[in-house]
Amino acid sequence: MMDARVKPAHDAVLDRTDGRVGRLYQDRHAGLDPAIHPLRKTPQQAPGWLYTSAACVRSRAAQQTARSSQRRRPARNSPRLPMRFTLTTWNINSVRLRIDLVAAFLKEQQPDVLCLQETKCPDDAFPLKRFKQLGYEHIALNGQKGYHGVAVISKIPFVARDIRIFCDNLDSRHISVSLGTGDNDPPLVLHNFYVPAGGDVADPELNPKFKHKLSFLDEMKACEPLHPSGDARHILVGDLNVAPHEHDVWSHKQLLKVVSHTPVECEKLLAVLRAGNWVDVARDRIPLSEKIYTWWSYRAADWTVGDRGRRLDHIWVSEALRTRVTDFKILRDARSWERPSDHVPVTVTMEL
């Protein structure tokens, strides 16, 4: 993390190349490891945070500072990850409405980290107390009232956290945390995304929401922090709102013109995957010929009839973690719970 205190004006830009892509507001007090520290979105609200723009490219001085910081070993009291590490991603479709479902899931499954999307909750109204009672005392939030929102809920303390802004929209679609791993290992960096759904019309000229989605995916591809290399241990999860492969949907032929499975969306998401040399855990462990779904529409009276699902929720890992994955599962039964989300939990287990 960067130690230098940078305090530009709200609309100032460091290292501007196109003035458009990838703003970052970064907690300069990462080493303090607060138990709960909701991230804010403007420099005025968070003096001393770094603001950058232009395709996630930082100034040369900032890059040098970041590289130097990354080379430093964590402090001796940096918390170690458990050897067996379990992470779940889940689009909960309103965390306050479904907090009882989340609590029941956490009591039974006990993941080390839970990443939520579509929390639909401002940070100051997030049900922190309920999570703390369950042993999840470390929470990073990026929420807003009524829409979108992402959160990372963890048993393990964070050593850093940040938020990135895509397409110049403050719409709460990303949060990232780093987990300390002891003296000798690089940190485990986790990105949690909620990619725009894109509306109903698969034409960027007619549908601004679809245009926004395509631009968001383009900016993800260009975002330098999403390009882990070497021994970097990174995980990218979330509702990416694209089912990229033929058997990620119930009918490839019928959905080719339906938002979430159009060729342009599929290619752009796979371009993000390739640009970062990511490993799609589901498809690394389950053949492309097998159908996999994580979402079923509310429009079906009985979601099990016809099994018309799509794989919209993803877990990607950097190449350094590929051989560390020991288990992957999709909790399909959660779609039948009382007042369920239309998405189900997706879980990965690794030996670190």
Active-site positions read 194, 239, 343
Q: Please state whether 330 falls in left (phi above 0), alpha (psi between -120 and 50) or beta.
A: beta
Residue 270 token pair: 């796979």
Q: Amino acid letter at 122?
A: P
**8 Å CB contact between 50 and 28:** yes
Query: Which residue, among 315, 294, 348, 309, has the nearest Cα to 109 in the 3D structure?
Result: 348
Who contacts 72 (Cβ-Cβ below 8 Å, separation ≥6)? none
Report whether 171 belongs to an annotated binding site: no
CB count, 10 Å around CB of 202? 21
Establish whether 15 is an annotated binding residue.
no
For residue 157, what are its two tokens? 């303390």
Kindly give the interhelix angle for 208-222 and 263-275, rounded to the nearest 10 degrees: 20
DSSP 59-75: PHHHHHHHHHHHHSPPP
DSSP H or E stretch at residue 236 = strand 233-239
What are the helix (H) ranges across the chain?
60-71, 99-109, 128-133, 208-222, 252-255, 263-275, 281-285
Task: Yes or no: say if 174 and 199 are a contact pair by the CB < 8 Å rule.
Answer: no
Structural tokens at position 325:
């994955």
342 annotated ligand-binding residue:
yes
Q: How far apart are CA 53 and CA 165, in angstroms?
A: 9
Binding residues for Mg(2+): 91, 118, 239, 241, 342-343
